[in-house]
Structure formats: structure tokens, C-alpha cells
Structure 1
Amino acid sequence: MKRRDVLGAFGATAVMTFAGSRARAEQLLPFYDLPAKYMNWAALGTAYEKRTGVKLTIDLKTGSSTALAAMKAEVARPQVNGAFWSLDIAIEGKKAGVTMPYKPKGFDAIPDSRKDRDGHWWAMSSANIVIGANTDVLRKHNLPLPKTWNDLLKPDYKGLCGMMEPTYSGTASTFAYGINFIQGGTKDDFTPGMKWLKAFADNGGQYRSETMGPRLVTGDVGILIDAEGNILLPKAEGAPVVVIAPPDGVVAVELGMSMMKGAPDQERARQFFDWLLGDEAQSIIGASYFRPVRKETLPKAVAAELGEPEKLIPLDLEHEAAVVTNLKRAFTEIVTRGGDLADVLRRYRLAA
């Protein structure tokens, strides 16, 4: 498979501006959270601009939670047409009243569990959340590849690990929710998961408010918790990185789109949403090592490299959306501010 033929060249990052000529503004289609280095939005943006002449706002308000906060602040006067985000945050967005329904072409083919029946949100892809390792960094420290999630808590890996901040990233908030079940927690008790997240920080693990994939490639972090595609795509391009899917369990993040309530350019937004579920966009997503919602568009060679984890733990998306705000608040109080774990979890009704 020739990757250049599938993905095309990376386009320049578009940044929303309200200055400039009217003609230029008319060619810009603003959305929040289209990160160039996540799910290869750079390639998606380049392909869409080549097809339509419309430029997407790549890297504007990246992070699902960041996008939701901005949309809440702007709901009376919408500045964008919608957002790309994890579906737990999308459900929050609907409840907050910042989205409006639209069912793009291909909506009926999306499984019911991966879309809002009225069209407020819908999946375009998913990704397993795994461990990525920079083999050059580990070789420098004379360390083996980690095998399990608990390996990352060992003193051997102190200060070498990182992931995105759960209060910023939908992928990270999904992991913060899912690690609880990997560690033996329940929907009524998030103690095991929060203990793991705190121990990760205590072992020097970094929580960063940025897309972290590039830091693994450069060796700024030696081990990264992230969506598998953010590791496998650089690997395919020659980076010294590998993916580990721990046998103790892996969770997946569901990724999709929503239109903002009162979106300023609804017609062009609808056209863009239609394109995202079409062959071209879904094939770019698949070639970027994310799992397109239309499975038939995933290249066979990519599917073989992605494989399936030994133990994929299913998540209750509605329950995740119901508790994710309190989970993020508890994370901040316990991990960032050193609050008492048991007391904070009880206060947020995340433990008895």
C-alpha cells in the first residue's frame, strides 16, 4: 500500500479569524477540535479542501472538553459549526443544549449504540487506547517493553510515561473511566481506577494538555497512553515506536461529530458531515490506523496490523457520559491537588 497515495500531503494548519476579506472568510468552515496530529485530521483537511476549496480550522480549540467549554460559552452567539469529540463528551454537549440534530448520509448504517437517534451526535470512527513505547528511549535506559498497565507504575519506568489530561482530552477521559474496570472497579466504585491514576502521577507520569503523539516520536516521553492510530501511523512512517495492547484489558474511545446549535453555516456543515461518512474520508481514517465506523473502508493491511486485543472491555457510553464530569473533577482534586481519595470519591458519588 502506498501511503502517500492514500493520505496525500499534509496541509497547512487553518486558524479561525474574523479579520480579513469576506471572500477569504467564506472559504473557511470553522469547527472545534480537529487536531492535525490526531486521527490525521491534517490529511482529512487537505483532502476536503482539495475537493471543495473549503478550508477547515485545523487545531482550533483541541481537546473534547476544551471544545465543549468553548461551545457552552458561545451558545448565545455560535462561532463554529460544531465539533469533533469523544462520544461521552458529545452526549454532555447535547444535555448542555449546545448541539442540534443532523443525520448525514450514511447515518442509518451506524449502529444504534454509536449514534443519537435524533442526530445530535454520531460516530465516525473508534480507537483502542493502548501503550505506545519509543524503543530508542527504552534501549537508552536498558529497559524492556512494558507488558501490562501496572508495569507503568514500576520504579523502572519512573518519569518516562505520559498521557493527555482527562480534563482536556476525550481519549484521556475515556481511559480514566475505563482503567477503573481494568483494575476491577465497578460503576458504583471508582476507587481502583483513581488509585491507578494517582499512582501513575506519583511515579512521574505526565498528564499534558496537548496532543501527545508527537512527543513519543521525538522521545520527549518514552511511553505513552494514547489511541493506537497515533502510534501506528508514525511507526508506518519510520518512527521507532511500537504498540502494546495489555492482556489485562483494553478500552476503546468512540469518536464522532456534532453540529452546534445555531451553527452559522449549516448548509456547508451538512455537506462536510456527509463527506465524513463517505468513501474518501472513511478510507483516509482507516489508512491512518483508526477504525472507521464503516468497517469495509478499512484497508486489509491496516486491519491486519491493528489486530484485536486479547481482552477488549466494553464500556457503557451513557453511564460514562453521566459520570465523566464528576470523574474529571475528582481527578483534579485527587491527582492534581492531592485531595483525600476516599473522601473526594464519596463526595462526587463515585464510591460508597
Structure 2
Amino acid sequence: MKTLRLTAAASAALLVLTGALTSCAPPEKDSGGAETESGVKAGEATSVADFGGKEGLVEAAKAEGELNVIALPPDWANYGAIIKAFGDEYGIKVNSAQPDAASQDEINAANQQKGKSTAPDVFDLGQSVALANTDMFAPYKVETFDDVSNNFKDPDGKWVNDYGGYMSIGYDSSKVPAITGVEDLLKPEFKGKVALNGDPTQAGAAFSGVMMVAISQGGTPDDIAPGVEFFRKLKEAGNFLPVDPTPATIESGQTPVVIDWDYLNVAQTKKLPSWKVAIPPNASVAGYYYQAINKDAPHPAAARLWQEFLYSDEGQNLYLQGGARPVRADSMVSKGTIDQAAFDLLPPVNGAATIVTVEQNQAATKYLEANWAKAVG
């Protein structure tokens, strides 16, 4: 999903969009959609059975003809290829808005455009934002719902984790010394060079980055304070670079060190041979993103077909080919449907993985909201 950061360009785009809605609003859209074979509206369908099966869902989605996605940059978890594959397979036009937006921007857009034909149909969100907005999601269980562990889904299908990875440190080995751990980032050689992907109070990648640092400094998922303190020291030393990293800033050398998901950092190694990726051995923080349907989706059948595609073997392998770890990986390995070549390319991880629970995330988010700006402002 997206870069999960609010760039200046994204802010400007949001302002322009808001103005456009005021001056020339898109037409109102009945979010209920057409009636399905079972007699319920598409916007109330909870599985393909309500459409009389997959063929019925495809027919209803094609009748709508469009799908609105948001905050899905093409170089994030292979979304460029995923969007193209979906559009090619079903002949549905995919409208991709604000690709560089953060998770919170997705929710803001849905609220601002509610009832309009331009509102997002689906969301791809970081944990904090997703769990704070579950009342905006429509329950839906894809055909492969049972393949997903109970730990990675809402029991009613309001949200389901789709892909994930490990927090990592990417760096340009031609510009900075080799990085073996978080402590290296405080060295003088890293002055003005260390970037974090977004604001941790709004962006899932940044939140997990601070959590990774916290654990490396003796913190726990219940105590993110050491991570905030480390970034305060990083800012005080002049090493923290308040620039949201992008593939362009990495290639230009503007952000020579980036704390981000491993699949995003690994993707840069294909473009920049000197780009290296390290997953700190004492702080292996794993995390998944949350996929959900907007309960007020203007294209409710297309939104549900999109979910079916993402959780199919094809969709999950497309995530994998982008370096992300698909949520159905274990099931696909056992069934022999995983892209083994892509699976074998995933970066090695040493030590047990730390996964932040819902309760720990909520507590850490509150701490960040109260203390992050003071530490790095």
C-alpha cells in the first residue's frame, strides 16, 4: 500500500482535491450497489455466495466497470503490477488516487468524499489507523478466508492482513559505513543522513520503525519510549534527516539511510547496486498491513472482487514478487502454490520475530501522539 507518509505533494493534492469537491463535486453515488442473486445489495454482500458464486461477482463488478484505490504507489509491495493484472484480467478500470498518501489520508478521503463516485472503494492501512476506524469497514470473507490465521483477521472479515515484512535499515554503502545495528546510526559519519518513512503517529512504516529502535534499546512492545528517546538523541546529534524517503530520494542520494520495511528497501537494490539492507538481529519487528472494504464504497462489487484477487494465489504471489511476505504464505507453501523462486529471495531474519498486538499498538500510539513531536520537533 502506499508510502504511508504525508508528503508535501500529497498535502497539496489533498487541498486541491478538497477544493475541487467544494467547487465541482462529483455526482452522488448509491453505495449500496445493484441487488445480488441472494436479494441483498452488493454493498451488503458478505461472500461470493451472495452473488451466486464467483461468476456472479465478476459480472456485477464488470457492470460497475471501475474501482477506486488510494495510497498504492506502484513500487510499494508490487502494487503497480497488481493493479495492472487485476485490470487486465477483468477489464475493470482502476482509478488510483494519491499514491503517496498516508494511511490516515485514506480515511480522511473516505470521509470527505462519502457519497461521491470518487470515494475510495478499498483501504490498505497500517495497524493503528485500521483499528481506529473499523466502523468504516464492510464485513466480507474471501474464498480463501480460512487459509488466513485467526491472528491475522477480524472474525467477521471486516479487515484481513494482506502482506507484511520486517522493519529494516537500508543504506547506500558508497556513502556511509556498513550498518550492523541501530547504535551505528548515532555515529558522526551519519550526520544528516538517517531518514524514517513518515510520521509514526500517522504511518504504519514509521510506527514500526520506532518500535524496532525501541526494542534494540531495551524497550518492548509494551514500552516504545526508548525508541522515541533514541530519535531525540539522533535529532540532537544532527543525524536525523526530516525528509520522507522515496525511490527518487534514495537514487539521488538525498536519503542515504532509510528505516523502512524490508520489501521496500530490498526493491531499491535492483536500481542501486550499492544499496544494502540490514534487519537488526536484536530487533526483528514484523508487521502486516490491513486490507478492508469501505462500507460506503461507490463500486461495492468491484471492491469485493479486488479482495478476492488479492487473496488468490495469483495476488499473493504478486505481493511476494515485490518482496513482501503474503499472509497466506504458509498455506501456499504446504499446497505447493507459492512462487518458490521469489520466496527464496526474501532477506534472512535472525532471532524471534516481534509482532505488536492490537492492545500494544494502541498504547504505543497514544505515547507517540503525546511525545513524538516534542522529541524530534
TM-score of Structure 1 vs Structure 2, range by shorter chain: 0.7 to 0.9
Q: What is aligned with 1:9?
A: none
Unaligned runs of 5+ in 1: 1-15, 139-143, 338-352
Distance (Å, rounded) in 1 between the aligned partners of 2:289 and 2:114: 22
Greater Cα shift, 28-37 or 52-61: 52-61
Q: What is aligned with 1:65?
A: 104
Summarize deviations over 1:270-294 as a string: whole Å, max 9, x none.
Answer: 0110000112211111111111112
Greater Cα shift, 179-188 or 128-137: 179-188
Distance (Å, rounded) in 2 between the aligned partners of 1:273 and 1:185: 36
Equivalent position SS for 2:264:
helix
1:45 aligns with 2:80: no
Q: How many aligned positions are there?
A: 312
Greater Cα shift, 31-40 or 122-131: 31-40
Of 123, 127, 145, the residue aligned with 1:87 is 127
Q: What is aligned with 1:323?
A: 363
Deviation of the 1:58 alpha carbon: 3.0
1:190 aligns with 2:224: yes
Of 292, 296, 301, the residue aligned with 1:262 is 296
Normalising by structure 2, we get a TM-score of 0.74
Q: What is aligned with 2:156?
A: 118
Of 128, 136, 139, the residue aligned with 1:101 is 139
Unaligned runs of 5+ in 2: 1-16, 30-62
Distance (Å, rounded) in 2 between the aligned partners of 1:77 and 1:87: 26
Deviation of the 1:153 alpha carbon: 1.6
Greater Cα shift, 110-119 or 297-306: 297-306
Deviation of the 1:72 alpha carbon: 4.4
In structure 2, give the amino acid aligned to 1:206: L
In structure 2, give the amino acid aligned to 1:52: Y
| Coordinate RMSD, CA, aligned | 2.9
Q: What is aligned with 1:276?
A: 310
Summarize deviations over 1:247-270 as a string: whole Å, max 9, x none.
Answer: 221212211311112222111110
Distance (Å, rounded) in 1 between the aligned partners of 2:295 and 2:172: 42
Summarize deviations over 1:55-95 as a string: whole Å, max 9, x none.
Answer: 3333526221222333345557682212111233221221x
Normalising by structure 1, we get a TM-score of 0.79
Contact 2:221 2:356 in 1 (8 A): no
Deviation of the 1:243 alpha carbon: 0.9
Of 269, 272, 279, the residue aligned with 1:245 is 279
Summarize deviations over 1:111-147 as a string: whole Å, max 9, x none.
Answer: 1111111111101111111011122333xxxxx2111
Shift in CA distance, 250/189, structure 1 to aligned 2, threshold 3 Å:
closer
Aligned-pair identity (%): 23
Equivalent position SS for 1:206:
coil
Matches within 5 A, 1:204-215: 204-209=239-244, 212-215=246-249
Equivalent position SS for 2:316:
helix
Summarize deviations over 1:14-46 as a string: whole Å, max 9, x none.
Answer: xx99769x9xx9543112221222112111111
Q: What is aligned with 1:170?
A: 204
Contact 2:214 2:227 in 1 (8 A): yes
Shift in CA distance, 300/277, structure 1 to aligned 2, threshold 3 Å:
same
